[in-house]
Every structure is written in C-alpha cells, then in structure tokens.
Structure 1
Amino acid sequence: MAAQLSANNFNQKAINGEEPSDYDDHQAMAEEKKGEGFAVEEPNNEECAVERVDRLSKTVTEFQEHLRERVSYYLGYPANHNCEHYLALSTLLQFNINNVGDPFKESDHGLHSKKFEVGVLDWFAQLWGIDKDEYWGYVTNGGTEGNLHGILMGRELLPNGILYTSQESHYSMFKIARMYRMDCETIASLATGKMDCNDLRDKLLINKDRPAIININIGTTFKGATDDLDLVVQTLEDCGFSRDQFYIHCDAAISGFVVPFLKQAPKFTFKKPIGSVSISGHKFLGCPMPCGVLLTRKRYIDILSTSIEYIATVDTTIAGSRNGHSPIFLWYVLNIKGQKGLEEDVEKCLINSRYLRDRLKKAGINSMLNEMSITVVFERPPDSEFIRHWQLQCLGNMAHVVIMPHVTVEMLDHFLYDLLQKRNIWYGKLQLAPLLAKDIGICNCVCSVHA
C-alpha cells in the first residue's frame, strides 16, 4: 500500500537511497565528448577545401545522429518533432530572406516572404474569428515576442494600467513587467493551474482607480490549464471596469492549436473583448525554428506605427528584421495539414494524454490531466539522470510530459516501463508515493492520506 512521503524525505531519498542509474555511463561519455570537434578553427593551409568540408560534414552528420537519438526520448517539452515534411523547403536556405517591417507594407527590400506571411495571418484570423479588415498581426520569433507585443499594446492603450497575470503564467510575463516597468499583480491559481478569479476580484477592487491589463493563459506552462475568459470578463464588469478600462491579452503558446479544435470547449475569439493573442509555431505545428504568430485589432496598431525612411516602410513589430523563412514553413505545414489534419492531431494527442494519465494512476502514481489539455503532470522522479534522459520538465515536486504529435503510444509504453522499473529502486517494495495534494489537488493524490 502506498504511504505518505514528505517532500523533504522524498528529496533525501533521491540523494542517499538511489542506486546507480542506467544512464550514468551515457552521461559520463557525453561529458567526455563535450566540446570535442566543436571549436571554431581557422582553415588550415595544409588541408584542402574538400577535406575541410568533409571533416565539417562528418561533425554535422554525427550531431544529426545525436539529435535523432534524443528525439526518441523527447517527452517533457512542448515541441512537435514530426518535421520530415519540411525537408522539401531546404533549397530555400540558399537565400537570406528578411521580412523587415510591417508585413502588410511593401519596402525596397526585395528578398522577403510577406505574401506567405499574410496568407498565414489570414488563416489564423479566421481561426480566431476576426475579419481580414479588422485584424493586424505578424509572424514573430516565438511566444515571448508575441507576449511582448501584446502587453506593449495594452500598456500603450492604457498607460496607467496594472498587469494582472496568474502565478502559473509563463516566466516571460514577469520579465515583461520588469522590462516595461509596469506594476504587476500576481494572481493566485487553483490546484488545476487556472487563475483564481476570487483573488483577481479582490485585487481589482483594491486598484479600482487604475485600468487593468489582463493576461489570460490558454494552456499554462506547467499544468496546461486554460483560464476562464468569460469568468474573467464577468469579474472585470462586476468590479466596475468598463470595456475602455481593460485590455486582455491571451497567451496561447501551448494550447492555441488545441482548444480551437475542441467542439465542447469554451470559444476563444475576437468576438469577445480580447485585444491580442500570441501562439507558438514551433510547438504543436512543429516548425523547426522558434516562431509564432501575434494577432491584434487593426485599430490599435497605429499607436505603435513608425515610418522608417531607410527601409522605406513602416515598423510596427518588436524585432524589426524578422526571419523570412518562418512564414514559408508555417504556410507550408498549414497547407499540408489543413484544419482536418490538425483536428486529427489534436484528437490523437488527447487520446494519448488520457492513456498516459490512466496508466500512471493504475500504477499508483500521483498524476493529473486538465480538461482540454495535453500536459500530464505527475510526481517528480528523484533521479536527475532519468529526468535528463527523458527530457522532463520539473517544478518543485512535480514533473510533466507534454503529448505532442510526435509522441506515440510505443514511446509512452517505453517511458512507463522505465519509470516503473526505476521506482523499485527509488522507493523499494513499499512503492512510497510523495504527498502531492497541494500541487495537483486531493482528487489526484494517491498517497496513503488521500488514496
């Protein structure tokens, strides 16, 4: 029978009671090879150009094999590694493509992919329920840049506004508050990871004399929770905030490709009073370089628009010079997949998420899976090499697996077999389970107190 194990005892057992890991030799070899062959060397006159290229190609090939091996154990980070179809675009790497400036404005820089970019933005605008003539957006270098732009928009529209964001928000939110020197109120979260709207109400009432800039999470970083947009809006209105006194940004980096395809899910749309949304392109879509999409309302963008003479266009973005390959890659995969293909990917990931959650519970392991989520949270393994091997993300006493489209049932079975074998080493025959009720809720804790 499982017994309660305190966090301190749990961590102490990891330090003192753990037998050598199967991965120790692998790690030792990796440490020995660290840096070998990767120093930048000046061309050697005694080495002909062909030999030099062959040597460099050998290093790259070996690194490719390393990546292929690590992908087989890639479970904890929210990135899709089904990327083979992008090889068709490799010939574009011979061009330096720069989408400098506003995607809807021409410039005298001819090597850009803005037509592809606008095509991608139109697709996302349709997905998020805003007409072509009412939205503005651009392809970013990732979710953080989208958050930077969205919160900047809110601050420029409401200069005296306070940023409200839950404790489960991505770390970029708190970095943005520091960068923009904004007052920031951290809102408590429920055990599920959702924003606690009772705490939001209390803090809004304390600051009734100042506008509110609210960050809504559509898939929190660690627990995959989705904040209740309708309840947040209702809370703002109940506290006396009119529509011109608040701005809502949606951080949809993780679940921006999940929630829109769920028929029973609450709708996140510009038909509701949101001001902007940021979605990652390298996560669920699997674009092989970090990128994302920022959408906002067209009527807001003039406040950030600046005409730049030497690039002969208008600058409205955070980055200025922007990766011109990313929009082409996004355009390509959206045409390959289509909405039907994405719906199938979402359904597969949801099924596999429930499969992992159910198998963990059956094995007597603390675990949690939020509704509308593909992130399975469970007790943190007390073995750093196991965590490294499976590339798990950890927070306190918790770890998680993010079920991306590349994650198969076979991968999950391999992971589960490895985990259960290691638990015999970590906890012995009693299979002690740590107390995680505070982290994931009493209903998900399987310790002796709550089982």
Structure 2
Amino acid sequence: MGSLLLEMDFESLPMSPRSLAAMTPRSLARRRLFPNVDNKKQKVAPPGDGPRKNLQLEVMEPGLKNDGPSLDTILVNYLDTLTQRVNYHLGYPVNICYDHYATLAPLLQFHLNNCGDPFLQNTVDFHSKDFEVAVLDWFAKLWEIEKDQYWGYVTNGGTEGNLHGILLGRELLPEGILYASKDSHYSVFKAARMYRMDSETINTSVNGEMNYSDLRAKLLQNKDKPAIINVTIGTTFKGAIDDLDVILETLKECGYSQDRFYIHCDAALCGLMTPFINNMISFKKPIGSVTISGHKFLGCPMPCGVQITRKSYINNLSTNVEYIASVDATISGSRNGLTPIFLWYSLSAKGQVGLQKDVKRCLDNAKYLKNRLQQAGISVMLNELSIIVVLERPRDHEFVRRWQLSCVKDMAHVIVMPGITREMLDNFVSELVQQRKQWYRDGKAEAPCVGEDIGAQNCACSYHKIDYISP
C-alpha cells in the first residue's frame, strides 16, 4: 500500500525525523507547517508574561473576505503563547518535557483507532494494538503479574481507569459498598454515582492519608456486605499515599476474606514513581486493578492512561461485538491509537534507568522547593515520597493564574514534574517573596493560617511560627 498523502492538510518537511525532532515548536511553525503566516497584513499581538487570555475566535468560511488575521497567524501566535507559558506551569501534574513529538508527527496523517480488545485483531489495519500490548506488558512486569495472568488497555486517562476498575469491582461484587477517602480523586465518587453504588467516605489525616481507624469502623458497620476499596497511591492535592498493606491487614482483622473484597489502586501520578522507591504496588498482593495516567509523570501530548487487571476478572465485562470483529471490555470502545505509540516511544527512550533518574531528581527538587519556602517563612508541607509541595494560597489571583497554580481553601500546591528546573523554582520563590511583601505590607493583612490543613508544625502564620518555626 502506498503512503497516504493529504496534500492540503499535511505537507511533509524535507527533513529527517532526527533533525525534525531537534526543532523547537516555534521553529516547526515557521518551517512550512504554517506556510502563509508571513504573507498576511494583520498580526495578533505577541504573548506577554502574564496568563493567556481566551481568544475571541469564530469559525471562518473559506472564500469570504477576512480582514482579521489568517488561520496560520492565529495558530502561530497561539503556539508562541503556549511555548512561553511552559515556563510558568507549576500547579498541575502534566509532564510537558518531551522532544519526540516531531519524530512521531507524521503519524498524524493516519486515523489510528484501537477499537475493542487490545489482544484481538480487527479487520481494519489502522490501529496500534501491537504497540499497546508492548506497553501493557511493560507495566505488567513493573507491577509483578505474569503475561498470561493480566488484561489491560491504554485508556483516555486516569478517570477512565478509575471508572473501569470500580466497575470491575461492582460486577464481581454486585452488593459491594465502595470505600474511598475524602482526598480521593473526584472521579472515584463520580463512578459511585454513575453505577448507583452505595459508598462510604473515609476520613483522612492532616497529610491527606486515609484514616485507617475510620475505615475499620465503617467496615465493621457494614460487615454483612462486600467491600470495594479505592486505594490512592498519591492523593490529588497533597500527594499522600494510602498504605495498601495496612488496608489489607484491616480487612483481614475485620473478617473480610479475599472473595469478599476488591481493591482498585488509583496511582495516576505516582504509579510510575513508587516502583523505583519501594515495591508497594504488586499483583502478588490481593489487589484487583491498577491505573496510571500516561500524560503525567511519563508525559504525552494527549491525555491517556494504562489500566491493568487480572485476566480472570475481565469476562464479567467482555461483550462480543460482531461489527468490529472483536470483544470489548473497555469503557470507551474506540480509543486513541496514537497514545500507545507515544507511551511506547517514551518508555523505550527512557527505560527504567532513565525513569529512576527522573524520580530522584523530582524528589530532590521538591525537597529543595520546600526548604526554600520554609526559609522564607512561608507555610509549606511535603509528604514523604511525594513531589507535591503544599503551601499557603497566594493572596493575589493574578499571581495564581500567572504560575497556573491549583488551589483548595487556603492552600496551593506546586507539583515538581520532570520538566521543572531549579531555575523555575527559584524564580517562583523569588517572585512569591516579593509579592508577599506587598500583600502583607504595614500589617493590614496577614498570611492565612493553614495549621488545620497541613499541620500546625508546618504553618508559618503569626500564631504558629512562634512555637514551630525555628529562627
């Protein structure tokens, strides 16, 4: 079969994949991806240092007179804005540090749809299931389950993985009650609503970890019904890790045999970190499923994830679909065929040694940021084995938007991903320190007290710092 050429939509560059990969996003835009950008009269104003503004756009009708900027001009300026804003992306768990997007860009000329079971072929050849299975095998080995004992697929993100894992638990234990800590990802409670499941919200300690005494009390209270437990390996906001071994011991002490509980591990961010720190995620333990987000620690231009479960469980969801000549046990059916290739490429390029180096660097940089903030007299908390640095919420909304921070109550956090350098962290701290001098000048306002949120020993408010902050 000859190559597919879309003459107007995709123009091949006269460059090798290696030289293409070495180009920056801006230079790619200038090299005939947007060939008409310099031929139009009107330009959009170049981006500044502040948060980007929503573009006032409308769909243009070809052939009609247009006095505004061209399509290519709008896209180039949008690209320039994103390129500049990368340096201020601190608050969300997305790894935007990868350079293989250009190498894989030619794949965009094909529609790749991994429909149905990854381990079964369809009658259509435009898929990437061979790459998908390679990725799944890699994660199965990482989480210690044999190739003939697991089933999984590349999802559209961590939420889909949670929906799938909890659905498996519900199908295996139809009368089961879902237990999840209040610091669990919101998709866990979304699943409970979607599946009309009874659920129990478990309290957490001040660091965000599940309160095991509360779990024990609620398990005993509902002892007549099976338990479906969401274990969070790295909570969304504080980065706390629920102790899987303590949860398993609690189930045993409460009289739950292995056929009366199902455990789903939501390891969206930390599932690629903890295996290189300690071996807490393992199918050698009686767990049912694990999910991660591929666009987080590893990095991918599109949201994606990996879901792994036991092969013996999947028949409860599998449905034969004659139309696609396959069976389907996924949530979404049609799935992005590009994401497995990006994941496969990243894993192959980095390997376990490269990922281990990323983990160590991120942990070290998180401790560095915590120490810088603490030395500046700013409330800050960092959980063990976490790259999420929780600090007092900045007073100014524009500062929050500039650094793209996520905020809850009086807290904000910085997630120290692989692409975040110490220079970026230094710039953030320096700017925050200077801004705080303006916000709290003349004693007209005070920094918020976050003792109840992150612990009194971590709070630097005027009340707590006397007792807990050393000079």
Could you tell me the TM-score, scaled by structure 2's length? Answer: 0.86
> Given the alignment, which residue of 449, 464, 471 partners 1:435?
449
Query: What's 1:446 paired with?
Result: 460
Query: What's 1:359 paired with?
Result: 372
- 1:73-84 pair list within 5 angstroms: 73-84=88-99
Helix, strand or coil at the partner of 2:213: helix
Query: What's 1:251 paired with?
Result: 266
Helix, strand or coil at the partner of 1:112: coil
User: Are residue 42 (structure 1) and residue 45 (structure 2) matched?
Assistant: no
User: Are residue 214 (structure 1) and residue 229 (structure 2) matched?
Assistant: yes
> Given the alignment, which residue of 69, 76, 80 partners 1:65?
80
Helix, strand or coil at the partner of 1:434: coil
Q: Distance in 2 between matches of 1:273 and 1:427?
A: 52
How big is the shift at 1:258?
1.2
How big is the shift at 1:69?
1.1
Helix, strand or coil at the partner of 2:297: coil
- 1:10-409 pair list within 5 angstroms: 31=53, 34-36=54-56, 38-44=57-63, 55-262=70-277, 265-409=278-422
How big is the shift at 1:266?
5.0
- Structure 2: gaps spanning 5 or more residues: 1-47, 466-471
Deviations 1:295-328 (A, max 9, x none): 0000000111111011111111000000000000
How big is the shift at 1:445?
1.6
Asked if the contact 2:52/2:81 (under 8 Å) is kept, the reply is no
> Given the alignment, which residue of 408, 412, 433 partners 1:420?
433
Count, aligned residues: 417
How big is the shift at 1:432?
3.7
Deviations 1:319-364 (A, max 9, x none): 0000000000000000000000000111110010000000111111
Asked if the contact 2:128/2:338 (under 8 Å) is kept, the reply is yes
The change in CA–CA distance for 1:341 and 1:429 in structure 2 (over 3 A counts) is farther
Identity, in percent, stands at 59
Q: Distance in 1 between matches of 2:264 and 2:163?
A: 10
Q: Distance in 2 between matches of 1:163 and 1:423?
A: 43
What is the Cα-based RMSD across aligned positions, in Å?
Answer: 1.7
Which amino acid in the other structure matches residue 178 of structure 1? Answer: R
Helix, strand or coil at the partner of 2:298: coil
Q: Distance in 2 between matches of 1:177 and 1:337?
A: 37
Helix, strand or coil at the partner of 2:147: coil
The change in CA–CA distance for 1:347 and 1:30 in structure 2 (over 3 A counts) is closer
Deviations 1:173-205 (A, max 9, x none): 111110000011000000110000000001001
Deviations 1:393-446 (A, max 9, x none): 000010000000110000001000110000001111559432211100122122
Which amino acid in the other structure matches residue 362 of structure 1? Answer: Q
Helix, strand or coil at the partner of 1:151: helix
Asked if the contact 2:120/2:326 (under 8 Å) is kept, the reply is yes
- Structure 1: gaps spanning 5 or more residues: 1-24
The change in CA–CA distance for 1:330 and 1:234 in structure 2 (over 3 A counts) is same
The change in CA–CA distance for 1:35 and 1:448 in structure 2 (over 3 A counts) is closer
Which amino acid in the other structure matches residue 463 of structure 2? Answer: V
The change in CA–CA distance for 1:267 and 1:35 in structure 2 (over 3 A counts) is closer
Deviations 1:256-289 (A, max 9, x none): 1111111xx3521001111001100001111010
Query: What's 1:12 paired with?
Result: none
Could you tell me the TM-score, scaled by structure 1's length? Answer: 0.90
Asked if the contact 2:391/2:412 (under 8 Å) is kept, the reply is yes
Helix, strand or coil at the partner of 1:203: helix
- Greater relative contact order (Cα 8 A, min sep 6): structure 1 or 2? 1
Which amino acid in the other structure matches residue 121 of structure 1? Answer: L
Query: What's 1:17 paired with?
Result: none
How big is the shift at 1:35?
3.3
How big is the shift at 1:46?
6.1
The change in CA–CA distance for 1:429 and 1:258 in structure 2 (over 3 A counts) is farther
Asked if the contact 2:233/2:266 (under 8 Å) is kept, the reply is yes
